[in-house]
C-alpha cells in the first residue's frame, strides 16, 4: 500500500472513531437524562401518593390495605393459634386500627394447589341476616314501613300475621318455624308462598332461632320495594359500599377465586370436596346465600356501623341490646359485637369492636366438627387488647 493510501485509510479510521465516540457520548447523555427523568417521575409519583393519602382518614387508609397480604410481628402469634386450631380458610385481624394479619391458611382448591388469601371467596351463611335487617330498616328510615307493623300487612296467609310484628321477626321472637325444608328450586315469590304454607307456630315473644323469619322478611322487602331482594340489597348496600368481592349465589360457584369446601379428619382435611345442590342456596333467600371475602366483609359491617347505608339512629333501634342476645343478625355486647354463619360446610365468624379498631374476620372452607369458629374469633379478639 502506498504512503498516500495509508494516510487516506488512517484518516477514515480516525473519522469513524470520532463518530463512534460522539454517538456513544450522545447515547450516554440520553440514557442519563432518561434515568434522571425516571427518578424524578418516581419521586413525583411517591409525593403525589403521600399527598393523596395525607387527606384520608385512618379508616380510609385501613380500607386500602384490606385486600393485601400482610403478616406482622404482632400477628404471628395469632397466625400460630389459627394453625394450632387446624383452621383452614382466610383471616383478617385488625389491632388498634392496623392490619396485623391478612392472609389465608391452607388451600382454596387442593387439586390446583391454589391457596386461600385475602380475596378468596367464601359463603357467609347467616351473617346475611344482618344485611337483611339493614335492608328492612332502610325502608323504615324512608317511611315506607314501620318495624312495628304486623307482618300480615304485607304478606297474606300467616295465621298470626296480625299479631307478629316485623321487629319480632328481626329478633327471632315470632314463634315461626318450618315443618320441613324446601324440596325444589323456586323463584322468590314461590319460596315465600311455600314457606308460609309450611309454617308452624310456636309461642310468641320467646326467642327461637329460625331462619324462616328472614326468608319472610325478604318477602316483605320485595313487596315494599317493588323489586327483587337481591337487586334491593345490591343497589342500596353492596354498591354503596363499593364491595368488589361480594355477591349472591350461584355466581360464586364459577368464580376463579372461589374456595371449595372440604371435609375430613384433621390428619386429612381435604379428604372429600363438598358439592352444593342448587336447592341448598336457593332456599336461603334473605338468610344465607351471599358470598364475600374477608376484606369486603369488614367493609360491609363497618359500613353499616358508621352510617354509610343506614342512619345511626335507625341502626340503634335494631341493636337495642348489649347483653349478647341475638338481634338483627348480630350478637351485641357492651364493647363489641359478633356474627356467625354456617352453610354448605363453609363457616364464617366475626368479632368487631364498636369503633372498628379491633376486629377478627374468619372465613373457612373446612367443614370441621372439632372447631367452633365463633368461639375462636371471640377468643382471638380478646387477645387484641
Q: How far apart are CA 50 and CA 96, in angstroms?
A: 22
Beta-carbon neighbour count of residue 314 at 10 Å?
16
- Backbone dihedral region for residue 206 (phi beyond 0: left; psi -120 to 50: alpha; all else: beta): beta
- pLDDT band at 68, cuts 50/70/90? very high
Residue 290 is placed in which grid cell?
Answer: 351471599
For the chain, the first-to-last Cα distance in angstroms comes to 93
- pLDDT band at 30, cuts 50/70/90? low
pLDDT at 175 over 60: yes
Residue 293 is placed in which grid cell?
Answer: 371475602
Q: Which of 37-41, 233-237, 282-286 has the lowest mean pLDDT?
A: 37-41
pLDDT at 258 over 70: yes
Q: How far apart are CA 354 and CA 337, in angstroms?
A: 7
Of the candidates 68, 59, 86, 62, the one whose C-alpha atom is nearest the C-alpha of residue 293 is 68
Domains along the chain with CATH numbers: 58-382 (3.40.710.10)
Q: Model's pTM, two decimal places? A: 0.85
Residue-wise pLDDT tens digits, 42-57: 444 434 544 555 667 7
Residue-wise pLDDT tens digits, 201-255: 999 989 999 999 999 999 999 999 999 999 999 999 999 999 999 999 999 999 9
Distances (CA, A) of 208 to 77, 172, 173, 330: 38, 6, 6, 14
Q: What is the DSSP letter of 187?
A: -
Beta pairing class for 290-292 and 326-327: unpaired
- pLDDT band at 287, cuts 50/70/90? very high
Grid look-up 391454589 returns 114
Of the candidates 365, 191, 181, 370, the one whose C-alpha atom is nearest the C-alpha of residue 291 is 365
Q: How far apart are CA 340 and CA 352, in angstroms?
A: 12
- pLDDT band at 319, cuts 50/70/90? confident
Q: Which carries the bigger pLDDT value, residue 34 or residue 105?
A: 105
Q: Which of 140-144, 258-262, 323-327 has the lowest mean pLDDT?
A: 323-327
Amino acid at each position: 500500500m502506498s504512503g498516500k493510501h495509508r494516510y487516506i485509510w488512517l484518516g477514515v479510521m480516525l473519522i469513524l472513531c470520532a463518530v463512534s465516540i460522539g454517538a456513544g457520548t450522545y447515547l450516554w447523555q440520553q440514557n442519563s437524562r432518561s434515568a434522571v427523568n425516571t427518578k424524578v417521575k418516581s419521586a413525583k409519583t411517591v409525593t403525589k401518593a403521600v399527598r393523596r393519602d395525607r387527606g384520608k382518614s385512618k379508616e380510609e387508609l385501613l380500607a386500602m390495605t384490606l385486600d393485601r397480604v400482610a403478616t406482622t410481628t404482632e400477628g404471628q402469634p395469632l397466625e400460630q393459634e389459627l394453625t394450632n386450631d387446624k383452621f383452614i380458610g382466610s383471616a383478617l385481624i385488625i389491632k388498634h386500627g392496623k392490619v396485623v394479619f391478612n392472609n389465608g391458611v391452607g388451600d382454596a382448591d387442593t387439586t390446583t394447589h391454589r391457596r386461600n388469601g385475602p380475596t378468596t371467596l367464601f359463603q357467609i351463611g347467616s351473617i346475611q341476616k344482618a344485611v337483611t335487617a339493614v335492608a328492612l330498616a332502610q325502608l323504615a328510615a324512608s317511611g315506607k314501613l314501620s318495624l312495628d307493623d304486623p307482618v300480615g300487612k304485607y304478606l297474606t296467609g300467616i295465621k298470626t300475621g296480625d299479631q307478629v310484628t316485623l321487629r319480632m321477626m328481626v329478633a327471632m321472637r315470632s314463634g315461626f318455624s318450618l315443618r320441613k325444608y324446601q324440596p325444589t328450586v323456586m323463584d322468590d315469590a314461590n319460596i315465600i308462598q311455600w314457606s308460609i304454607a309450611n309454617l308452624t307456630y310456636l309461642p310468641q315473644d320467646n326467642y327461637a332461632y329460625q331462619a324462616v323469619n328472614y326468608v319472610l322478611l325478604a318477602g316483605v322487602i320485595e313487596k315494599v320495594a317493588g323489586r327483587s331482594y337481591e337487586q334491593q340489597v345490591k343497589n342500596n348496600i353492596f354498591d354503596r359500599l363499593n364491595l368488589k368481592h361480594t355477591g349472591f349465589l350461584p355466581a360464586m360457584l364459577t368464580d376463579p377465586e372461589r374456595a371449595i369446601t372440604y371435609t375430613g379428619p384433621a390428619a386429612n382435611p381435604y379428604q372429600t370436596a363438598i358439592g352444593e345442590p342448587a336447592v341448598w342456596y336457593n332456599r336461603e333467600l334473605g338468610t344465607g346465600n351471599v358470598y364475600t371475602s374477608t376484606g369486603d366483609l369488614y367493609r360491609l359491617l363497618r359500613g353499616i356501623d358508621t352510617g354509610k347505608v343506614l342512619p345511626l339512629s335507625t341502626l340503634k333501634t335494631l341493636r337495642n341490646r348489649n347483653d349478647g342476645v341475638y338481634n338483627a343478625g348480630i350478637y351485641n355486647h357492651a364493647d363489641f359485637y359478633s356474627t356467625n354463619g354456617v352453610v354448605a360446610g363453609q363457616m364464617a365468624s366475626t368479632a368487631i369492636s364498636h369503633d372498628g379498631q379491633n376486629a377478627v374476620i374468619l372465613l373457612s372452607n373446612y367443614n370441621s366438627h372439632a372447631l367452633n369458629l365463633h368461639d375462636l374469633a371471640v377468643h382471638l379478639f380478646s387477645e387484641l387488647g
